[in-house]
Structure 1
């Protein structure tokens, strides 16, 4: 299979521009010292998105200052210490102590993760030979070069082109089939691309059949500032505030009757309830090894709360999940429909969820991606949306883009957001919306 060459992204271009500017400045002013530390700082500071660029620049500056201060103390004590009997040994001991102090200061300031930067700065001042240059002069320029690198890196890294961004459209990615084909992981490259777009102001969210607990594990480090539509439209969940903004609950009597049926048939099932923004999962006795293994696997999540007992009578049920063989679950669907629940329930069947067992989720028919997307758009005061993903999607108010490859989905979202795409049905629709 022939692999295409990766395109040159903005981070590479910005890094090259920043390096050129630094070399140009040093050449223009006729600086006799090396631009090495300025270049290193600048290259480190330029990150894939603006927020990380600012954080890295700030941390680099703080780390260098800590290392410079402890390095200055070491240089002040160097001559007296080396003048003692066995001075070299005492000097080595002093350096070890100062390194410990340098690390401790980063912890004291709540910046322990920059201890490496601070120690490198200290070593470059107190340990490395300076080829005849005064240690204090080297220290001064070490700090100046770092802040020059931080300034140029932050300036260039924070720059972005002001194209015709579509901040009036809600961009939605469906997150199921494409993740299964990619081992249920979003690549760091795609996270970076999406984060960069979100930092620019794009309205971006996701629709998934998964529960919020499963989704959170998959979107780590992705800046999902908008609520997500989970469980195929059953809940609208705010990841940052850990709140369920809306949930499509079952009719109370219907939930009781379904639970009675499952209990009478001695089925192992899970009853999912939301109580004060806490997802509680009640379960009964599990006798099958696959069922026990399934529970053991899921209950390790800090976002799931399992209780071995029946729910309270006043609890309103969000959905039931039943782990069994495929054929027995199909039979259960038919039984529920024959009980008069046809047109009132929604069934989500996932095959081979654990071992040979499949999983059936039983929800209210009101759990609809379209309904929940409409609700989210009203909350955001947005009138237009595009959904990327499932070819059978009917969740989009304006247009759906069919694609099962998450890499292409991210590329398409980015292109539609910036208006840099060839003329397609989507771009023409966006142009109609603009006009």
Structure 2
């Protein structure tokens, strides 16, 4: 509106601020790269529509046709080559803008005394809007953020916010500004990629409750802690004696293989059917498993009813003692729980020191929902609140 006001003092047509405002609003996006892409698409669409609009006006002036009904029908037919041109140029996203510009010229200004000047001003209005939109979108107040500290957050009850995209947008902005942010989770890389879809994680992540560090960009494991084969054999024997099935997660080179036996409950079967098609998981029947000294076992998972899990956990602790780390947690299946058997060295704390080496960070700040275990305690459901706390700490250079 300010630019339009200034143009009223110039010895040329003033233009219409409506078109500039539309272009500016369309260009404004959460990220600067999408803003520039939208600006480019808008520019291509505007020029294409303007060229066809000008040709349309010249044709009707040449033929001296002023019947409105004929103009409208002709414009409807003329829009076909407008759309097709964007397809030929492989600019399909610009098709909408081309059509809007063309129709605004053909249907609104075909009967003006000087319609050609409108075409020029229509293009000028749009480019003014594009320039302002990109400028507004790229403008940031000068804020210093901590780019040396490693910030590590949990996911469940800490970072996930299904009701809002705010956390993803703000996280991406922090990551793009150079903040060293990553996550630590009990989940596998496959589950992590699904949950964090849309978040531009760049640094390696701690997965499988500290059993491994996974590089998302390179799609490979950087660090792994294996369960002793003898301990694994004993754990599997106890699980079998309790009448339960288990999933044995092993590494073959850099590929995760999950061996499974005969399913003992509907939750196991549903878990398999839901996850077996994932590109990050490789489920293999136990009958094809080669049990030898070269087998590298990350951890063992059992999915069973709560009472069976508690009984199994007691037996495992009695038999395995400190030779294994046993954890259990609620599952997505009502009445069922997960139990996992890890190497005693497989922990998030041990992997944190290795993660700092991989990222070059000397200091780390952790976010979690267990009081006393993490540097920043999250007790309000996480999500947007966690990201706001992260922003505040980043801008105070790691002080909290």
> TM (normalized to structure 2)?
0.85
Match of 1:123 in 2: 103
Match of 2:218 in 1: 241
Question: Does the CA contact (< 8 Å) of 1:403 and 1:409 recur in 2?
Answer: no
Q: Could you tell me how far apart the structure 1 residues matched to 2:56 and 2:284 are?
A: 59
Match of 2:364 in 1: 385
Q: Could you tell me how far apart the structure 2 residues matched to 1:137 and 1:67 are?
A: 15
Task: Give the match's secondary structure for 2:322.
Answer: coil
Deviation at 1:131, TM superposition (A): 6.1
Q: Could you tell me how far apart the structure 2 residues matched to 1:133 and 1:242 are?
A: 63
Match of 2:352 in 1: 373
Deviation at 1:135, TM superposition (A): 4.2
Q: 2:26 aligns with which of 32, 39, 44?
A: 44
Q: 1:211 aligns with which of 159, 168, 188?
A: 188
1:124-173 deviations in Å (ceiling 9; x for gaps)? 33444366264443333333322222222222211212223211212222
Large movers: runs of 4+ above 6 Å: 80-83
Q: Could you tell me how far apart the structure 2 residues matched to 1:274 and 1:144 are?
A: 60
Question: Does the CA contact (< 8 Å) of 1:270 and 1:282 recur in 2?
Answer: yes
Match of 2:328 in 1: 349
Task: Give the match's secondary structure for 2:125.
Answer: helix
Deviation at 1:417, TM superposition (A): 1.5
1:390-421 deviations in Å (ceiling 9; x for gaps)? 233546xxx4344443222111111121239x
Q: Could you tell me how far apart the structure 1 residues matched to 2:165 and 2:22 are?
A: 23
Question: Does the CA contact (< 8 Å) of 2:244 and 2:264 recur in 1?
Answer: no
Mapping 1:9-408, distance limit 5 Å: 20=2, 22-23=3-4, 25-27=6-8, 29=10, 32-75=14-57, 77-78=59-60, 91-92=74-75, 94-105=77-88, 108-109=89-90, 111-129=91-109, 132=112, 134-178=114-158, 185=162, 187-263=164-240, 265-310=242-287, 311-313=289-291, 314-339=294-319, 341-392=320-371, 394=373, 399-406=375-382, 407-408=384-385
Of 274-283 and 403-412, more deviation after overlay is shown by: 274-283
1:180-215 deviations in Å (ceiling 9; x for gaps)? 7x5xx2721111121222222211111222222222
Question: Does the CA contact (< 8 Å) of 1:51 and 1:199 recur in 2?
Answer: no
Deviation at 1:25, TM superposition (A): 4.1
May I ask how many residue pairs the two structures share in their alignment? 393
Question: Does the CA contact (< 8 Å) of 1:386 and 1:401 recur in 2?
Answer: no
Unmatched segments (≥5 aa) in structure 1: 1-18, 421-425, 430-435
Task: Give the match's secondary structure for 1:160.
Answer: coil
Unmatched segments (≥5 aa) in structure 2: none
Deviation at 1:324, TM superposition (A): 0.7
Match of 1:16 in 2: none
Q: Could you tell me how far apart the structure 2 residues matched to 1:25 and 1:273 are?
A: 69
Match of 1:15 in 2: none
Deviation at 1:71, TM superposition (A): 3.9
Task: Give the match's secondary structure for 1:53.
Answer: helix
Question: Does the CA contact (< 8 Å) of 2:15 and 2:125 recur in 1?
Answer: no
- Output the aligned Cα RMSD: 3.1
Pair 1:221–1:65, CA change in 2 (3 A): farther
Question: Does the CA contact (< 8 Å) of 1:78 and 1:91 recur in 2?
Answer: no
Pair 1:154–1:307, CA change in 2 (3 A): same
Pair 1:333–1:68, CA change in 2 (3 A): same
